[in-house]
Amino acid sequence: MMAAMRCLIRGRVQGVFFRASTRHEARRLGLHGRALNLADGRVEVIACGDETALRALRDWLRHGPPLAHVEELECEWLDAIDCDAPFSIG
């Protein structure tokens, strides 16, 4: 079953390879989507694919890569979206 989620991550998440590490983890899990830096210092992740893999990515986002410090993670499930391109960063 295909599913989609949007997560907002707050903390020390910019300048610590958070997006690149998220892309690596998402691709390892077989997910599609993107990770973007937001102007307010957060990172937005939109991912789609298998629900079990999305839950695994959500768990990974709770801590992120070694240099990150996640203070807050907010995720919401989305209606299925068109998401055929490989996971990317912007």
Q: Which of 19, 23, 34, 42 is catalytic?
A: 19
Q: What is the pLDDT of residue 86?
A: 82
Q: What is the pLDDT of residue 88?
A: 86
CA dihedral of residues 7, 20, 34, 31 (deg, nearest 10): -90
pLDDT at 11 over 80: yes
pLDDT tens for 15-68 read 999 999 999 999 999 999 999 999 999 999 999 999 999 999 999 999 999 999
Token digits of residue 52? 């079990």
Ordered by where they begin, the domains of the chain are 2-82 (3.30.70.100)
State yes or no: is 19 an active-site residue.
Answer: yes
pLDDT tens for 60-86 read 999 999 999 999 999 999 986 767 778
Measured CA to CA, the distance from residue 23 to residue 45 in angstroms comes to 10
Q: Which of 6, 10, 12, 37 is catalytic?
A: 37
Radius of gyration of the chain from its Cα atoms, rounded to whole angstroms: 12
